[in-house]
Amino acid sequence: MSKTVLVLVETVDDYLPLLENAGYRLIHAKTPQSRAEAIARHAADIDAVLTRGPLGLTAAEIHTLTHLQIICVIGAGYEQVDLAAAKARGITVTNGAGANAGPVADHAMALLLALLRGIPQADASTRRGEWNRVISPSVSGKRLGIIGLGAIGQAIAQRAEQGFAMSVSYHSRTPRREQPYTWYDSPQRLAEAVDILVIATPGGPGTRHLVDASVLAALGSQGYLVNIARASVVDTEALVQALRAGSIAGAALDVFDDEPAVPEALKALSNTVLTPHVAGQSPEAARDTVALVLRNLQAFFAGEPVLTPVTL
């Protein structure tokens, strides 16, 4: 018997035939209205849900989906999936850890370069017919700090160290002894020691506002912030205040608290670079993400361990 997958994501359509060709029946529900309708209409048919961190799956939805057995989250973050409800039902949850690490790390470095070298401002100025040869900081040799040293953090560290001769430090809950980088036991101590702070840790209650006013103050007036993880990790109000006051030099952000809404305060600032949560999006990442989902589904329904389980 074929299994039915409710697809809530909207970014991997080109590669969903990988699932269909493997015999899975897909129900697409990419808007809040179609999602509610699909869950109500097909509650007894849905065996699996494909979602992403910000879209999640609520306790009420899990309760309604009486035949649900597995939730597959694309990307590393799963902050809006109700893990307690999944655990209570014995539902397996997987994520896409590592599947898009390369593109996200590429985007982090692109944001970093654009921010420090003033690329967007220089482009806009040149298009206006101006010739403003602004002196911008070098990137090579800077001290880089990374909050979160998972697959994405490691990919960023590798690019920074090998490509730009940067010294790399990091903060995580515990030291990664197998990694050659310097560990700090708090975000504040890390921020004090670096020129650029990159956020690469998952979202959720455990990391909410991990980067607050005190961490930004420690980063200092010559310091830069790059966030390609989750907006919730950074206190946005404190960040805006720091950027306005010049307490930090600038920020590059790919994630926001209420997407797709971007705070006007951030858009009005000249020391920000903003992109619409696209760090993990590339044809290669989409293909690899769906391929990982397929491998997890195949393993699960064969009674084998899934590849990337989320601890419930």
> What amino acid positions are annotated as catalytic residues?
230, 259, 277
* Listed residue (174, 40, 155, 170) closest to 107, CA to CA: 155
Strand order in the sheet with 4-7: 25-28, 4-7, 48-52, 70-74, 92-94
* Listed residue (78, 107, 79, 2) closest to 47, CA to CA: 2
Characterise 41 by phi-psi region: left (phi > 0), alpha (psi -120 to 50), beta (else).
alpha
* Half-sphere exposure of residue 192: CA atoms within 13 angstroms, side-chain side: 8
Q: To 10 degrees, what angle do helices 101-117 and 119-127 make?
A: 60
For residue 163, give both structure tokens: 């490509």
Question: What are φ and ψ of residue 246, in 5° steps?
Answer: 75, 20
Give the helix/strand (H/E) hosting 6: strand 4-7
228 near 219, Cβ under 8 Å?
no
Length of the chain measured in residues = 312
